[in-house]
Amino acid sequence: MIKLNYLINLAAEEAPSPVIPHPVEIIVGLIAFSLLFYVLKTKVVPKFEKAYEERTNAIEGGLVRAEKAQVEAERVLRAYTTQLAEAQSEAQKIREESRVQGAAIIEDLREKAKEEAARITAAAQQSIEAERQQAITSLRNEVGALATELASKIVGEALDDQVRQSRIVDRFVADLEKSN
């Protein structure tokens, strides 16, 4: 039995320990790790750094552009607000001027209408007076002709003399006007 224990101990000393790696494995592991570290450091990490830098610049640039755009938008908003206020003020002035001009135009049209009415009235009165004078003249001629005819019948002789006939008619009309 002792031999068996001795053999087990001897086999145990010769067998590699599961906890402690073999020196060759340590060397191969260190070389593989060094190669992997070198490749990552020279190829992969710079690409990550570059992508990180670009992303940082894009974000920072975007923030700067956004701030500039916001400042510009506020400036434009103030300018538009000012223009809108000016346009509203101008519109109010135009409305007021239009109202004043409208009142002046209405007053002017009223004056022209009054003048036109007065002119039409004067023309109508002149026309009436002319027609009245024409009617009086016509009536005088008719009355004169009738009076001459009547006087000729009464007197029994013809009153063909125009001058005498006019005198008789004028005297007759004058007597009629006096009696009325």
3-state secondary structure of 28: helix
| Burial of residue 169 (number of CB atoms within 10 Å: 0-12, 13-18, 19+) | buried
In whole angstroms, give the CA distance from residue 146 to residue 140.
10
Residue spans per domain, the chain: 27-179
Q: What is the pLDDT of residues 128-154, one digit of tens each?
A: 999 988 988 888 778 777 777 776 667
3-state secondary structure of 63: helix
Q: What is the pLDDT of residues 86-97, one digit of tens each?
A: 999 999 999 999
The confidence band for 9, taking pLDDT boundaries of 50, 70 and 90, is low
In whole angstroms, give the CA distance from residue 79 to residue 58.
30
Q: Contact at 8 Å (CB) between 166 and 144? A: yes
**Residue 163 pLDDT > 70:** no
Degrees, nearest 5: CA angle 60-62-65: 110
Percentage with pLDDT > 70 across the chain: 81
Q: What is the pLDDT of residues 112-123, one digit of tens each?
A: 999 999 999 999
Helices (H), 15-161: 23-39, 45-155
pLDDT number for residue 116: 92
The DSSP letter of residue 166 is: H
User: Mean of the pLDDT values across residues 68-93?
Assistant: 92
In whole angstroms, give the CA distance from residue 11 to residue 4.
10
Beta-carbon-side half-sphere exposure of residue 119 (alpha carbons within 13 Å): 6
**Residue 14 pLDDT > 60:** no
Q: What is the pLDDT of residues 21-38, one digit of tens each?
A: 778 888 999 999 999 999
User: Mean of the pLDDT values across residues 150-160?
Assistant: 64
